[in-house]
């Protein structure tokens, strides 16, 4: 006869920890993809090839990723995410600025789309 094992009771903290780990892994993957897109555009520039589309796509993807990551980070921190004493609040403001500075994301979408049509 086999003995039945008692079910393992998971604490709520364990679920929260697993959820945060899942968030961090998705964040890391998106940030790495942004970095690779940027390096690809820079590589094309270094080799004298056209890079307008690649640069627009890299800026668009990286700024959207920064905004997505910081928004989720603020939500993970809860109410503390909006307090100026925490770095998350500043990072979110900076991420929003990256979407606006050096051409808005809408303009970058038009540039990237126009380059695809050529």
- Catalytic one of 54, 85, 89, 102: 102
Q: Is 102 a catalytic residue?
A: yes
Taking Cα atoms as reference points, which of 21, 33, 34 lies closest to residue 76?
A: 21
Q: Are 102 and 66 in contact (CB under 8 A)?
A: no
Q: Are 62 and 37 in contact (CB under 8 A)?
A: yes
- Report the C-alpha gap between 74 and 7 in whole angstroms: 35
Residue length, the chain?
A: 118
Query: Count of alpha carbons within 13 Å of 112, Cβ hemisphere only?
Result: 16
- Which residues are known to be catalytic? 102
């Amino acid at each position: 006869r086999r003995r039945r094992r008692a079910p393992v009771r998971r604490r709520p903290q364990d679920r929260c920890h697993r959820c945060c780990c899942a968030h961090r892994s998705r964040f890391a993957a998106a940030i790495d993809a942004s970095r690779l897109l940027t390096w690809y555009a820079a590589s094309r520039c270094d080799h004298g090839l056209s890079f307008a589309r690649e640069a627009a796509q890299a800026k668009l993807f990286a700024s959207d990723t920064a905004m997505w990551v910081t928004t989720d980070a603020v939500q993970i921190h809860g109410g503390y995410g909006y307090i100026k004493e925490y770095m998350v609040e500043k990072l979110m403001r900076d991420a929003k600025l990256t979407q606006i500075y050096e051409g808005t994301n809408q303009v970058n979408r038009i540039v990237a789309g126009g380059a695809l049509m050529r």
